[in-house]
């Protein structure tokens, strides 16, 4: 029996449990029993966080191959399973954390929620917008937590942006570029059309930074190109998107990775009527007439641990989380508009009542 079923009898080890979807209600129990899907980088950081927090117990893990799953389970002192369906049905699991390929996020989340589990999923919630909407509705119906991780807004860069944004006055132009050369390009899921998804859906954080800072988007246009090595995999991806926000702000997002890209770039610049904010790599500055003032940027380390701790705070104490599923869903809506714009060559309206021109 999972935690959070209002009014349902609970075994003695799970007494005094109260949880309501996205509410202030508190949960009181010895440990949250966690099942983990994935054995990669994010999954390892999740496992480390769970083992170091006395409020959680990592019950089981499932990965892509038996060998990697067994090795992971041994390292993090847990049980190895053969499939995520088995994990979703486990009665001794309260919370499922999904840290695997983007394509499977929606299906695993649906199975976990249907079986009465709370769910934490690395972005995106789903590569399909309609499915993501259905999952949020399902979580509410089941009265279960559904949390979509967006650690980019917890990081030092984003926090510095928020802290200094008012200094530049009314912002009118943003450029955000993340370009990562890789030669040779790895033959892994992040270079696979189906497993990763459309670039700005798979890398949803690139758009979520903007929607978190600047609000609603009015129109989107987008162009993208792949350099293929075979039908399923590509060696290079390059995507450029322009967003017109309801405020009038124009934003340009550049995302690229792979072999035929030659210079790395991680740059975020915001131009306003009274100055500009320029973040290039791990350095930042505020520029205005006659002076340039350095801005200190906090570390990017420890963000998965912070996210995990905040989830446990929410489950035990009802502490509000830093992002809602609906906010992530809105960004996914913008990303879906970018996908449709790239495929059609048209400008797409994000407003529900409009379509495209």
310: in domain = no
7: in domain = no
pLDDT tens by residue, 256-284: 999 999 999 999 999 999 999 999 999 99
- Same domain (yes/no): 125, 40: yes
- Same domain (yes/no): 187, 48: no
- Same domain (yes/no): 61, 20: yes
- Same domain (yes/no): 273, 130: no
317: in domain = no
φ and ψ at 273, to 5 degrees? -70, -20
Residues with Cβ within 8 Å of residue 60, at least 6 apart in sequence: 35, 36, 73, 78, 79, 80, 81, 87, 90, 93
**Where is the domain boundary, 115, 149, 183?**
149
328: in domain = no
pLDDT the model gives residue 236: 96
Q: Mean pLDDT, to the nearest integer, of 93-118?
A: 97
- H or E element, residue 228: strand 217-228
The number of domains in the chain is: 2
- Same domain (yes/no): 160, 127: no
**Structure-token match 């039908």, residue found:** 231
φ and ψ at 103, to 5 degrees? -55, -35
Supply the CATH number for residue 182's domain: 3.30.360.10
161: in domain = yes
- H or E element, residue 254: strand 250-258
- Same domain (yes/no): 181, 141: no
pLDDT tens by residue, 20-56: 334 334 444 579 999 999 999 999 999 999 999 999 9
Supply the CATH number for residue 47's domain: 3.40.50.720
Over 90: is that where the pLDDT of 121 sits? yes
What domain range includes position 34? 12-149
Closest to 159 in 3D by CA, of 300, 312, 318: 300
**CA angle 291-297-303, nearest 5°?**
160
326: in domain = no
- Same domain (yes/no): 142, 163: no
46: in domain = yes
How many CA within 13 A on the CB side of residue 311?
31
**Where is the domain boundary, 149, 168, 188?**
149
- Same domain (yes/no): 127, 208: no
Kindly indicate the confidence band of residue 5, based on its pLDDT and cuts at 50, 70 and 90.
very low
With contact defined as beta carbons under 8 Å apart, do 77 and 52 qualify? no
**Where is the domain boundary, 95, 115, 149?**
149
């Amino acid at each position: 029996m999972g935690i959070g079923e209002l009014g349902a009898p609970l075994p003695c080890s799970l007494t005094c449990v109260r949880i309501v979807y996205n509410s202030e209600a508190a949960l009181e129990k010895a440990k949250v029993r966690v099942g983990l899907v994935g054995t990669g980088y994010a999954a390892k950081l999740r496992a480390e966080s769970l083992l170091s927090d006395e409020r959680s117990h990592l019950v089981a893990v499932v990965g892509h191959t038996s060998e990697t799953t067994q090795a992971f389970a041994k390292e993090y002192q847990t049980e190895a399973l053969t499939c995520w369906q088995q994990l979703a049905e486990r009665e001794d699991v309260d919370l499922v954390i999904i840290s695997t390929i983007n394509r499977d996020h929606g299906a695993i989340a649906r199975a976990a929620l249907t079986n009465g589990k709370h769910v934490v999923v690395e972005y995106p919630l789903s590569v399909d917008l309609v499915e993501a909407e259905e999952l949020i509705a399902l979580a509410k119906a089941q009265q279960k937590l559904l949390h979509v991780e967006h650690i980019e807004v917890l990081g030092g860069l984003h926090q510095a942006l928020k802290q200094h944004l008012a200094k530049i006055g009314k912002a009118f132009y943003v450029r955000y570029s993340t370009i990562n050369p890789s030669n040779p390009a790895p033959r892994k899921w992040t270079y696979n059309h189906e497993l990763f998804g459309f670039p700005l859906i798979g890398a949803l954080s690139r758009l979520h930074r903007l929607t978190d800072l600047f609000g609603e988007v009015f129109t989107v246009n987008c162009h993208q190109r792949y350099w293929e090595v075979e039908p399923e995999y590509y060696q290079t991806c390059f995507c450029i998107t322009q967003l017109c926000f309801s405020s009038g702000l124009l934003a340009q997002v550049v995302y690229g990775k792979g072999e035929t890209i030659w210079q790395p770039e991680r740059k975020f610049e915001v131009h306003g009527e009274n100055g500009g904010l320029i973040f290039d790599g791990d350095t930042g500055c505020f520029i205005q007439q006659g002076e340039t003032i350095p801005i200190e940027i906090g570390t990017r380390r420890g963000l998965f641990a912070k996210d995990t701790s905040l989830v446990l705070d929410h489950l035990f104490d009802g502490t509000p989380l830093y992002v809602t599923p609906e906010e992530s869903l809105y960004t996914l809506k913008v990303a879906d508009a970018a996908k449709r714009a790239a495929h059609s060559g048209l400008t797409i309206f994000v407003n529900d009542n409009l379509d495209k021109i």
